Structure 1
Amino acid sequence: MTFLLAAVIVAVTLAVTFWASRRNTSAGDFYVAGGRISATQNGIAIAGDYMSAASFLGITGLIALNGYDGFMYSVGWFIAYLTVLFIVAEPLRNLGKYTLADMLVYRLKDPRVRTYAAVSTIVISTFYMIAQVVGAGSLISLLSRGAISADLAIPLVGVLMIIYVVVGGMLATTWVQIIKAMLLMFATIVMTVLILNRFGWSFSNMLGVVEAKNGAAFLGAGVKYTNPIDLISLCLALVLGTAGLPHILVRFFTVPTAQDARKSVVWAMALIGAFYVMTAFMGNAANALLGKGAIEAANKAGNMAAPLLAENLFGGAGTLGGEFGLAFVTAVAFATILAVVAGLTISASTSFTHDIYNGVLKGGQASEKDQFRVARLATVAVGVAAILLGLAAKTQNVAFLVALAFALAASANLPVILFTLFWRRFNATGAMWGIVGGILFTLLLIAISPNIMKIDPDTLTTGRHLIQANAIFPLENPGLISIPAGFLFAYLGTLIGARRHTPEDDRIFEDMQFRAYTGAGVDGTVAAHD
Structure 2
Amino acid sequence: MTGNHQTLALLLFSAFVAVTLAITTWVSRNRHGSAEEFYAGGRLFSSMENGFAISGDYMSAASFLGVTGLIALYGYDGLLYVVGFFVAWLVVLFLVAELVRNCGRFTLADVVAARMSERPVRIAAGTASVTVSVLYLVAQMVGAGSLVALLLGGTSDAARNWTVIGVGALMVIYVSLGGMRATTWIQIVKAVLLMGGAVALTVLVLVRFHGDFNQLLLSAAGRSGHGDAFLVPGLKYGGDWTARLDFISLGLALVLGTAGLPHILSRFYTVPTARAARRSVVWAIGLIGGFYLMTIVLGFGAAAIVGPKAVRESNAAGNTAVPLLALDLGGGPDSTGGTVLFAVVAAIAFATILAVVAGITLASSASVAHDLYASLRRRHAKVRSEVAVARAAAVGIGVVAIGLGLVARDLNVAFLVGLAFAVAASANLPVLLYSLFWRSFTTRGAVWAVYGGLVPALVLVLLSPVVSGSPDSLFPGVDFQYFPLQNPGLVSIPLGFLAGWLGTVTSVEPPDEAKHAETEVRSLTGAGAV
Q: TM-score range by the shorter chain?
A: over 0.9
- Of 5, 10, 35 in structure 2, the residue corresponding to residue 3 of structure 1 is 10
8 Å CA contact 2:61, 2:413 repeated in 1: no
Tell which deviates more after alignment, 207-216 or 248-257.
207-216
Once residues 364 and 335 of structure 1 are traced to their aligned partners in structure 2, the CA distance between those partners, rounded to angstroms, is 44
Find the residue that maps to 2:351 and give its secondary structure. helix
What's the CA shift for 1:219? Answer: 0.7
- Of 220, 224, 235 in structure 2, the residue corresponding to residue 210 of structure 1 is 220
Over 3 Å counting, the alpha-carbon distance change for 1:517 and 1:466 in structure 2 is: farther
What's the CA shift for 1:200? Answer: 1.2
Once residues 91 and 99 of structure 1 are traced to their aligned partners in structure 2, the CA distance between those partners, rounded to angstroms, is 13
Q: What is the aligned-residue identity percentage?
A: 51
8 Å CA contact 1:397, 1:465 repeated in 2: no
1:105-133 residue CA offsets vs partner (Å, 9 max, x unmatched): 11224321011111111111111112222
What's the CA shift for 1:134? Answer: 3.0
1:402-453 residue CA offsets vs partner (Å, 9 max, x unmatched): 2221111101110001111111111010010111111111112112211123
Residue of structure 1 in register with 2:397 after alignment: 382
**Unaligned residue ranges in structure 1 (runs of 5+):** 457-461, 524-530
Over 3 Å counting, the alpha-carbon distance change for 1:289 and 1:399 in structure 2 is: closer
CA-atom RMSD, angstroms?
2.1
Q: Does 1:43 align with 2:51?
A: yes
Residue of structure 2 in register with 1:140 after alignment: 148
- Of 223, 229, 247 in structure 1, the residue corresponding to residue 235 of structure 2 is 223
Over 3 Å counting, the alpha-carbon distance change for 1:346 and 1:366 in structure 2 is: farther
Over 3 Å counting, the alpha-carbon distance change for 1:168 and 1:365 in structure 2 is: farther
Once residues 42 and 453 of structure 1 are traced to their aligned partners in structure 2, the CA distance between those partners, rounded to angstroms, is 41
- Of 15, 25, 47 in structure 2, the residue corresponding to residue 18 of structure 1 is 25
Residue of structure 2 in register with 1:500 after alignment: 509
Over 3 Å counting, the alpha-carbon distance change for 1:300 and 1:409 in structure 2 is: same
Once residues 365 and 199 of structure 1 are traced to their aligned partners in structure 2, the CA distance between those partners, rounded to angstroms, is 68
Once residues 147 and 233 of structure 1 are traced to their aligned partners in structure 2, the CA distance between those partners, rounded to angstroms, is 32
Tell which deviates more after alignment, 464-473 or 319-328.
464-473
**Unaligned residue ranges in structure 2 (runs of 5+):** 1-7
- Of 277, 281, 284 in structure 1, the residue corresponding to residue 293 of structure 2 is 277
8 Å CA contact 1:397, 1:464 repeated in 2: no
Residue of structure 1 in register with 2:82 after alignment: 74
Q: Does 1:60 align with 2:76?
A: no
Q: Does 1:166 align with 2:182?
A: no
Residue of structure 1 in register with 2:191 after alignment: 181
Residue of structure 2 in register with 1:89 after alignment: 97
Residue of structure 2 in register with 1:131 after alignment: 139
Once residues 387 and 380 of structure 2 are traced to their aligned partners in structure 1, the CA distance between those partners, rounded to angstroms, is 14
Over 3 Å counting, the alpha-carbon distance change for 1:522 and 1:396 in structure 2 is: closer
TM-score, normalised by the number of residues in structure 1: 0.93
1:11-45 residue CA offsets vs partner (Å, 9 max, x unmatched): 11111111111232112101110111111111111
Once residues 223 and 376 of structure 1 are traced to their aligned partners in structure 2, the CA distance between those partners, rounded to angstroms, is 45
Residue of structure 2 in register with 1:243 after alignment: 259
8 Å CA contact 1:30, 1:169 repeated in 2: yes
For 1:444, the aligned partner's letter is V
8 Å CA contact 2:319, 2:412 repeated in 1: no
8 Å CA contact 1:140, 1:148 repeated in 2: no
8 Å CA contact 2:115, 2:515 repeated in 1: yes
For 1:216, the aligned partner's letter is D
What's the CA shift for 1:167? Answer: 0.9
What's the CA shift for 1:360? Answer: 4.8
8 Å CA contact 1:400, 1:451 repeated in 2: no
What's the CA shift for 1:100? Answer: 0.6
For 2:264, the aligned partner's letter is I
Once residues 397 and 7 of structure 1 are traced to their aligned partners in structure 2, the CA distance between those partners, rounded to angstroms, is 26
8 Å CA contact 2:253, 2:425 repeated in 1: yes
- Of 292, 298, 313 in structure 1, the residue corresponding to residue 329 of structure 2 is 313
What's the CA shift for 1:394? Answer: 4.3
For 1:94, the aligned partner's letter is N
Once residues 167 and 14 of structure 2 are traced to their aligned partners in structure 1, the CA distance between those partners, rounded to angstroms, is 13
Over 3 Å counting, the alpha-carbon distance change for 1:470 and 1:160 in structure 2 is: closer
8 Å CA contact 1:43, 1:265 repeated in 2: yes
8 Å CA contact 2:41, 2:179 repeated in 1: yes
For 2:259, the aligned partner's letter is A
Over 3 Å counting, the alpha-carbon distance change for 1:222 and 1:118 in structure 2 is: same
Q: Does 1:515 align with 2:515?
A: no
8 Å CA contact 2:220, 2:303 repeated in 1: yes
What's the CA shift for 1:469? Answer: 2.9
